[in-house]
């Protein structure tokens, strides 16, 4: 049975709760955030772009029944519509907000297929250590700035230098790992390691809780051909 696009029925309430947590983190960085939703079969992919990191964040959720959906909506309105209080195994149900005209990135998604796993990515513990060292370095260098240079432009310059560094023996910038941690994607999951995948000029940091995608060679999300993708 195909579920009308006016609503979504999740496989269980936990799926709705996990999606709500992801939306809450996106809204922390952008109160006016939009998300693109794509559903096919029994899965929903939610794409967002936290502006502090210049990456795409992808969260998936299992659905109950067959859905066919591709729409951009307000992240805040979607969060308000989610039912995360279902009990006794009942499925969380969310009524879809009205579609919005999304920002340019919503028409530029990673490719659907063709991903290949790459070697050289450190494990989660080492990634966490690298992040801690980077944050410590940023704070130290920020504190060392003379008073007349302690401004947003100087801090941004320091941050770009630190977060553009690559991770391990890969071309993945450290800011992608920072984004994954900030969005709750780097939580421990024994038996499910993180992985780096590439498809064309795209890179994707995949974790059990979501993915971070970005373009290689500059690492940003500049002008691209429009492609339809999934998580």
CATH number for the domain spanning 64: value is 3.10.150.10
- Identify the band that residue 80 occupies on the pLDDT scale cut at 50, 70 and 90: very high
Name the domain boundary from 87, 107, 127.
Answer: 107
List, for residues 149-172, the tens digit of each pLDDT value: 989 999 999 999 999 999 999 999
Tell the burial category of 136 from Cβ atoms under 10 Å away from its Cβ (0-12, 13-18, 19+).
Answer: exposed
Same-domain pairing of 7 and 72: yes
Asked whether the beta carbons of 61 and 19 are under 8 A apart, the reply is yes
Determine the structural domain holding residue 175 and report its residue range.
Answer: 118-193
Same-domain pairing of 41 and 72: yes
Please check whether residue 102 lies inside any domain of the structure.
yes
- Identify the band that residue 3 occupies on the pLDDT scale cut at 50, 70 and 90: very low
Q: Helices marked H in 3-151 — which ranges?
A: 13-29, 75-81, 124-143
Please check whether residue 221 lies inside any domain of the structure.
no
Residue 170's nearest CA partner among 207, 219, 129 is 219
Same-domain pairing of 133 and 180: yes
Give the strand pairing for 34-48 and 7-9.
unpaired
Please check whether residue 152 lies inside any domain of the structure.
yes
Residue 84: strand, helix, or coil: coil
Same-domain pairing of 63 and 83: yes
Find all residues with CB under 8 Å of 148, minimum gap 6, and list them.
Answer: none
Number of domains in the chain: 2
List, for residues 38-49, the tens digit of each pLDDT value: 998 889 999 999
- pTM of the predicted model, to two decimals? 0.86
């Amino acid at each position: 049975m195909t579920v009308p696009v006016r609503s979504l029925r999740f496989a269980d309430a936990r799926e709705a709760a996990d999606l709500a947590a992801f939306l809450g983190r996106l809204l922390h960085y952008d109160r006016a955030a939009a998300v693109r939703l794509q559903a096919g079969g029994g899965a929903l992919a939610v794409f967002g772009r936290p502006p502090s990191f210049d990456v795409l964040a992808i969260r998936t959720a299992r659905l109950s029944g067959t859905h066919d959906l591709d729409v951009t909506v307000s992240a805040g309105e979607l969060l308000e519509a989610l039912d995360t209080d279902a009990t006794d195994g009942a499925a969380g149900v969310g009524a879809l907000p009205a579609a919005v005209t999304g920002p340019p990135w919503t028409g530029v998604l990673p490719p659907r297929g063709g991903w290949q796993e790459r070697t050289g990515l450190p494990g989660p513990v080492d990634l966490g250590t690298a992040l801690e060292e980077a944050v410590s370095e940023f704070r130290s260098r920020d504190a060392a700035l003379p008073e007349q240079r302690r401004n947003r432009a100087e801090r941004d310059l320091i941050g770009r230098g630190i977060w553009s560094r690559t991770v391990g023996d890969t071309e993945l910038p450290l800011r992608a790992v920072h984004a994954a941690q900030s969005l709750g994607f780097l939580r421990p999951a024994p038996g499910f390691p993180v992985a780096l995948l590439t498809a064309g000029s795209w890179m994707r940091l995949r974790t059990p809780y979501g993915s971070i995608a970005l373009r290689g060679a500059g690492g940003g999300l500049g002008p691209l051909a429009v492609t339809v993708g999934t998580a």
